[in-house]
Amino acid sequence: MKRMSLVFLMTCFLVAVGCDRHPKPNISESSSMPARAKVVSKTNTPEAAEISRVLEADNYLSELRLAAEQSIGKDALHEGGAESVERTHAENLRKISLDGVPDEFRDAYVTHIQAWQERDHVAINTTWMEVLATAQRHGVVWDD
């Protein structure tokens, strides 16, 4: 029964990629949400705008993942829920359109998604740093 409840909660929080309380970013087009990815003024290119869009969509999905983890509780996470949340998160990351981003950024981001699919937390952190470094080389600075 616990596992069915867990699956239901995962579906509610992650598969829909949003809920009524939160604005949904359009993961294939630029969003009107407050931006955390800043484009450096001298490099205001279409590629930089697309990188910003991808980073904002990634951030939104990460917030949904954290909300799902909090809602199901520590016990459920230890009983297999963490694996389910992380796999669903990886599936949702794959839905972010990478159209218009430079190949270098696309490669770094796909490697990051693969780290999520493998649930390799060291690689997740390492590949995220490479995603951010690649974004910065293209004029996009992530505001933490």
Q: What pTM did the predictor assign?
A: 0.72
Residue 81 domain flag: yes
Residue 129 domain flag: yes
Spatial separation of the C-alpha atoms in residues 64 and 124, rounded to whole Å: 17
Q: Which two tokens stand for residue 112?
A: 């990051």
Tell me the H-state helices in the chain: 2-10, 46-76, 82-94, 103-118, 121-137
Percent of the chain surpassing pLDDT 70: 63
Residue 18 burial (C-beta neighbours within 10 Å; 0-12, 13-18, 19+): middle
Spatial CA neighbour of 129 closest among 49, 31, 144: 144
Spatial separation of the C-alpha atoms in residues 130 and 30, rounded to whole Å: 23
Q: Name the more confident of 7 and 127.
A: 127
pLDDT at 24: 43
Residue 25 domain flag: no
Contact of 27 with 96, CB cutoff 8 Å: yes
Residue 24 domain flag: no
Domain count, the chain: 1
Residue 23 domain flag: no
Residue 78 domain flag: yes
pLDDT at 18: 42
pLDDT at 142: 83
Residue-wise pLDDT for 34-92, tens only, equals 456 666 645 689 999 999 999 999 999 999 888 887 777 666 555 556 777 788 899 99
Q: 26 pLDDT exceeds 60?
A: no
Contact of 4 with 109, CB cutoff 8 Å: no
Terminal alpha carbon distance of the chain: 39
Q: Supply the range of the domain harboring residue 77.
A: 2-18+45-142
Residue 32 domain flag: no
Which of the listed ranges 29-33, 58-62, 63-67, 138-142 does the model predict with the highest average pLDDT?
A: 58-62
Residue 59 domain flag: yes
Average pLDDT, the chain: 76
